[in-house]
Amino acid sequence: MTTSSDPELRCDPAEGLASFAELGPHRPTDPRPGTLEILAEDRETSARSCRLWTGHGPVETPCFMPVGTYGAVKGVLPDELRAVGSQVVLANAYHLSHRPGAERVGEVGGIHAFMHWPGPILTDSGGYQVFSLRSLQKIDDAGVDYRTHFDGSPARMTPRSVLEAEASIGPDICMILDHCPPGDGGGASDAARRAILREAMDRTTLWAQEAARLRREILRDDQLCFAIVQGGTDLELRREHLETLAALDFDGLALGGLSVGEPIPQMHATLEAIAPLMPRDKPRYVMGIGTPSDLLAAIRAGVDMFDCVIPSRHARNGQLISFLGRFNIRNGRFRRDDRPVDPSCGCPVCARFSRAYLRHLHVHNDPLYVRLATMHNLYFFHEWVAVQRRAIRQGNFGAVAAALARVLEDRTQPGKGSKSTS
Ligand SMILES: [Zn+2]
C-alpha cells in the first residue's frame, strides 16, 4: 500500500492562502469580523469547510493553529510560519500578562505589531495553565487565586481580568476564563468524578455569563470572543453545558477539557456526539488536540479549528512526524541517511536538508535544528488538514478520510508499507 504517494493525499498547505505580504488589518470591503461563510458540508459525515473573517483577514477551515505561547512559535520566523501553511497563531494571555506584561504589549501597538505576525491571532485565557500547573491556591465563583509559575508571587484571575488583558494584548479571537477540571476526575469514583465535572461546568457558566456581560465594554468591536464548553466525556453534561453557553453572546464555542488524560476512544466518541450539536452558524473549536488521528476524528465531527503543541514540542525533542510515521532523529541509523525526512514531503526543509544533517544539528544542539524541525512538522500538520479541507470543498471527503485512516494504520504497523518509525 503506497497511499502516502497518492497525489490526492498531498498538497501545498499554503495554497489558496493570502501571501504573507498580503496579510494585515481588516479592510472596509472585507466581511465584518465574526462572519462565518459555510463553503461546503459533507453529505455523509458532519465535516464542513468554512471561511471565518477576523480583524486580520480570513481563516480557511478546518484549520490547525500552531502554539506560540509567548508570541513566538519557538525558532520560526512569521513569514516562515505562513510559508508552511499557518493561518492563525495561538498565544497565551496568562503568559503574556506576566512576561512582558499585557500593558507592555499594548504600548507597542498590540501583539500583531510586537511579534510581526500580521494575520489572525487567538489567545487562550491561561485558565488551563493555572489549573494544570498545580499553582492553584483558591477557587471561588468570582475567580481564581494562584501563584505564578515564574516566581511564585500571588495573583488572581477573574473573567474581567482575562478580558482586560486580552484588550491590551489585542488578539483577534479571545478565549474567556473557564474552569478546567482534571481529565481523570482526580482518580475519583464515577459519582465523585461527575460531581467534579458538574462543579467545574457550573462555575464555567457563571464566568461565561460574566464575560458575556463585560465583553462589549472591554474588548474592541473587531475582537471575537469564544466561550468554552466543559463536561469531560460525560455526554449528558456536555449537551447541557453546550446548550447553556450557546444561548449567550459569544462569536464561537470551543470544547475544552479534552485530551487531558481520558482514553482516546472516549475522547473521539465525545467529539462525534457533541461537535455536530454546536451552533452551525458559529465557528467550532476544540482546544489542545491533537494527533493526526485526533484531527481526522474532529474534522469528521464538524470541528473547524484546533491547536496543539505536538508539532513544535515534538520537533524540539527530536520527534519528526510525516506521512511515514514518527521517528526520533537522534537514532544512530540516521547518521548516514542522506534522504530528506519524508522524500515525498513538499516542505522547504525536505527540499534541501537530509536526515543526517538534521541529526547532526540536533546532536550538537544547533538552534537551526529547532527551526528546521518545527517547520517540517508544522508543514505536515497543516498539509494533513489542508488535504481534508480541499476534499470537503471538492465533495470527496469520505474517500480521502478513508485513505488517510489507512495511512495512520499503516504507520502503526512496523514492517508494513514504506515504514520509518522508531
Ligand atoms: Zn518536510
Whether 73 is in a domain gets the answer: yes
Q: Is 6 annotated as a binding residue?
A: no
Q: Give the Cα separation of 236 and 194 in Å (integer).
A: 11
pLDDT for position 182: 76
Whether 20 is in a domain gets the answer: no
Q: Is 57 annotated as a binding residue?
A: no
Side chain identity at residue 100, one-letter code: P
- Indicate whether 377 pLDDT > 80: yes
| Residue 284, beta-bridge partner list | 253
Whether 174 is in a domain gets the answer: yes
Angle between helices 367-394 and 355-363 (to 10 degrees): 130
Give the chain's length. Answer: 422
Between the two ends of the chain, the Cα-to-Cα distance in Å is 20
Task: Work out whether strand 36-41 and strand 252-255 pair parallel, antiparallel, or are unpaired.
Answer: unpaired
Q: Give the Cα separation of 105 and 219 in Å (integer).
A: 15
| Reported confidence tier of residue 101, pLDDT bands at 50, 70, 90 | very high
| Reported confidence tier of residue 415, pLDDT bands at 50, 70, 90 | low
- Indicate whether 184 pLDDT > 80: no
- 3-state helix/strand/coil string of 142-203: CEEEEECCCCCCEEEECHHHHHHHHHHHCCCEEECCCCCCCCCHHHCCHHHHHHHHHHHHHH
pLDDT for position 414: 61
Q: Is 127 annotated as a binding residue?
A: yes
pLDDT for position 3: 44
> What's the average model confidence in pLDDT over 384-404?
97
pTM: 0.95
Chain centroid, CA 159 distance in Å: 22
Whether 326 is in a domain gets the answer: no
Cα 342 to ligand 1 centre (Å)? 6
Whether 346 is in a domain gets the answer: no
Q: Is 4 annotated as a binding residue?
A: no
pLDDT in tens, 113-168: 999 999 999 999 988 888 877 677 899 999 999 998 888 899 999 999 999 999 99
pLDDT for position 5: 43
Let me know if 337 is a catalytic residue.
no
Cα 298 to ligand 1 centre (Å)? 24
Domain region containing 117 = 33-311
Q: Which residues lie closer than 8 Å to 301 by C-beta, 6 or more apart?
A: 45, 46, 47, 271, 272, 274, 275, 276
Cα 297 to ligand 1 centre (Å)? 24
| Reported confidence tier of residue 330, pLDDT bands at 50, 70, 90 | very high
Cα 419 to ligand 1 centre (Å)? 16
Classified as helix, coil or strand, 305 is strand
Q: Give the Cα separation of 303 and 276 in Å (integer).
A: 8
> What's the average model confidence in pLDDT over 374-379?
98
Q: Give the Cα separation of 320 and 314 in Å (integer).
A: 7
- Indicate whether 2 pLDDT > 50: no
* CATH number, position 105: 3.20.20.105
Whether 51 is in a domain gets the answer: yes
Whether 396 is in a domain gets the answer: no
Q: Which of 120-124, 260-264, 417-421 has the highest average model confidence (pLDDT)?
A: 120-124
pLDDT in tens, 235-259: 999 999 999 999 999 999 999 999 9
Cell of 47: 465535516
pLDDT for position 74: 96
Cα 264 to ligand 1 centre (Å)? 27
- Indicate whether 297 pLDDT > 70: yes
Q: Is 50 annotated as a binding residue?
A: no
Domain count, the chain: 1
Q: Is 180 annotated as a binding residue?
A: no
- Indicate whether 355 pLDDT > 70: yes
Of the residues 42, 234, 251, 307, which is catalytic? 307
Q: Give me the chain's average pLDDT, please.
A: 94
Q: Where are the alpha helices (DSSP H) in 182-255?
A: 190-218, 235-246
- Indicate whether 63 pLDDT > 60: yes
pLDDT in tens, 192-211: 999 999 999 999 999 999 99
> What's the average model confidence in pLDDT over 13-17?
97
Q: What is the DSSP string of 28-74?
A: TTSPPTT-EEEEEE-SSSS-EEEEEEETTEEEESSEEE-B-TTSS-T
> What's the average model confidence in pLDDT over 316-332?
96
Of the residues 42, 124, 234, 304, which is catalytic? 124
pLDDT for position 421: 38
Let me know if 307 is a catalytic residue.
yes
Whether 274 is in a domain gets the answer: yes
Q: What is the DSSP string of 3-31?
A: GGG-GGG---TTTTSPPGGG--SPPTTSP
Cα 379 to ligand 1 centre (Å)? 7
pLDDT for position 354: 98
Give φ, ψ of 188 to 5 degrees.
Answer: -85, 170
